[in-house]
Chains A and B, each alone.
Chain A
Amino acid sequence: MDNGSKSRIILKIERFLCYLFLAFLTVLSLFSFYVLIINATRAHPDIQKGFSFLPGKSMLNNLNSILKNKNLPVLHGIANSFIVSGSTALLTTYFSAMTAYAIHAYEFKLKKAAFLFIMMIMMIPNQVTTLGFISLMGKMKLMDSLIPLIVPSIAAPVVFYFMKSYMEASLPIEIVEAARIDGSGEFRTFNQIILPIIKPAMAVQGIFAFVGGWNNYFVPSLIIKSANKKTLPILIAQLRSADFLKFDMGQVYMLIAIAIVPVIFVYLCLSKFIIRGVTVGAVKG
């Protein structure tokens, strides 16, 4: 056997081992979600009786009973989660773009200081300010309201940084000057000329912000008290703290599926777009 075909065989074996390992990781990543979907379609007694790779026939039944469950206001939860994550996504993208635009397009005395400040606060985890946040919300009479979960997203340093990097790469300042010569006001230029140009960046960050809001648990669990204002993560936690064995497992899996499936669906539609967005901000070029 000559050297060329020998190394070709080695390459083939290497490739095979790579695929084998990747297949293993794929199974590991998807296994839990597969069981989730299967068990969400099975009735409680079947789930308790044994494991199954095949779906059951109780999907609608489970859906119906979890939506009608008196202890868990699931429909309210879905609506609240949508309100919070939708508004968060809108506010955070619009105002982060505005902040980034201020730093990108204008010259002013405090520009460098402002930029440095935002970079410095970027890494502060919001858990360390939560104590002050809760007591402030108490004083502002905003406890047990969705507002504290939405409005703070106007100031999002990470999204700002992403927007600024994007503008540096794809927003030549000449466009702004051309708009000025045409007599467009600064605010109008931003809304009608700049925003359409940076739409791709806004979409990516909008998705991340939506998912972040949808999944957020720590602060909402401390702010929200009344049942009808709870978001989905709080309901999931409530499910955990209830006496687990008394629960209909079909319903448990169904509620988890309700919390997870919308995100998976959006992700599968836009995965290319989303994966490209992961690296911007951390890695340049």
Chain B
Amino acid sequence: MARPVKKKAHKGGVNYSRWGYFFLLPFFITYFIFSFVPLVTTFYNAFFENYMSGLTKIGPNFVGFDNFKSIFGSDLLKYTRNTVILWLIGFIPQILISLLLAVWFTDTRLRLKYTGFFKTVIYMPNLIMAASFSMLFFALFSDNGPVNLFMIENGFFKEPFRFLAEIWGTRGLIGLMNFLMWFGNTTILLMAAIMGVDINLFEAAQIDGARSSQIFKYITIPSIKPILIYVLITSMIGGLQMFDVPQILTNGKGTPDRTSMTLIMFLNNHLFSKNYGMAGALSTLLFIITGILSLIVFKSLVGSPDKDGR
């Protein structure tokens, strides 16, 4: 928390506090115009019927909670389920492998070389444009793309495997991309967390004859718990926002049969067709869910006393 820097800020009779406000002004003006007003109008729109029927605009008419009723009556639950499944396919291998790598890279007994190189390589996909990464996978895994050609040439497949026509083919590819984009990032975060643990703890355990698995279970995991929670929740919030990868891979259709349509793709469809009532209701729901998740992060970061009050 912002700790008071000095009590005698009024040195020489000059009051500097107005400069604090002055320097805050650009942030707050910009935030107010481009984020706060839009947030409030988004909520406001959720309570109005407002859409295009052909070329005629219907509304805006006040309808109370009708939009929320109809959005729950639509395929919302199916898309929520899709989003959770797609997130899990990427997140489970991501957290397991990141933990494994973070432990290896920081293990003083193993003393692996070239960790700088490996970190550089595994972090790289995180910076790649998700849209182009997805387009690349679309090209690579298309029916007569390089992957199928390679598999047929080397006798693994008899005929092309149609990844994007299969439910789990498509979902698997999306999960794989999310995994590739995020496991390096998570590894680096967890490494930093492990390196922040008091080294004496590990040494004492080693002297007492603890096995690596015991050290991992009883020392590493409990000491990095706050960061694990942070990684989990921020990844959940990120998963909720999943859009670019499935949107480009399935051309916005969530094929096959909308089994890879995510919540934000659903929102995007409503925004695109100018159904502002439904888009507003969906945004409001997403806001509430992320709000709850963020509170947990906030608690896990601010709440633990050993994080010096931050």
Contact = CB atoms under 8 A, between A and B. Distances in A.
A48 B160 CA distance: 13
B287 interface: yes
A285 to B, nearest CB: 5
Nearest to B224: A283
A106 B16 contact: yes
B132 A131 contact: no
Interface in A69-123: 95-96, 98-99, 101-112, 114-115, 118-123
Contacts of B291: 123-124
Contacts of B310: 284
Contact of B19 (A47, A51, A186, A284): A186
Interface string A196-225: 000000000000000100110110001000
B246 to A, nearest CB: 12
A25 B94 CA distance: 12
A129 B180 contact: no
B27 A256 contact: no
Contacts of A285: 196
Contacts of B140: 32, 35
A30 B16 contact: no
A233 B132 CA distance: 7
B5 A154 contact: no
Contacts of A102: 19-24
A149 to B, nearest CB: 11
Contacts of B199: none
A130 B38 contact: yes
Contacts of B272: 222
A237 interface: yes
Given A154-B27, A232-B129, A241-B251, A123 B294 contact: yes
A5 interface: no
B39 A128 contact: yes
B35 interface: yes
A279 B189 contact: yes
A94 B217 CA distance: 44
B23 A121 contact: no
Given A26-B118, A123-B237, A155-B27, A131 B279 contact: yes
B271 interface: yes
Contacts of B240: 125
Contact of A124 (B39, B124, B142): B39
B220 interface: no
A188 to B, nearest CB: 12
B4 interface: yes
B188 A275 contact: yes
Contacts of A136: 33-34, 37-38, 41
Interface string B184-227: 11001100110010000000000000000000000000000001
A127 B264 contact: yes
Interface stretch (B51-59, B68-76, B78-86, B146-154): B146-154
B189 A278 contact: yes
Contacts of A244: 142
A125 B237 CA distance: 8
Contacts of B35: 121, 124, 126, 129, 133, 152, 155
Interface in B246-271: 247-248, 251-252, 264, 267-268, 271
A260 B241 contact: no
B112 A18 contact: yes
Nearest to B310: A284
A218 B20 contact: no
A214 B30 CA distance: 21
A125 B129 CA distance: 18
Leading 7 A-B pairs by shortest Cβ distance = A132-B38, A106-B20, A102-B23, A123-B294, A132-B41, A108-B17, A155-B31
Interface of A: 11, 14-15, 18-19, 22, 25-26, 28-30, 32-33, 35-36, 39, 47-48, 50-51, 95-96, 98-99, 101-112, 114-115, 118-136, 148, 151-152, 154-155, 160, 173, 177, 180, 186-187, 190, 211, 214-215, 217-218, 222, 232-233, 236-237, 239-241, 244, 249, 252-253, 256, 259-260, 263-264, 267-268, 271-272, 274-275, 278-279, 282-285
14 contacts: A29-B121, A29-B122, A106-B16, A114-B24, A121-B31, A123-B294, A125-B241, A127-B243, A131-B42, A152-B30, A186-B16, A218-B264, A263-B127, A268-B120
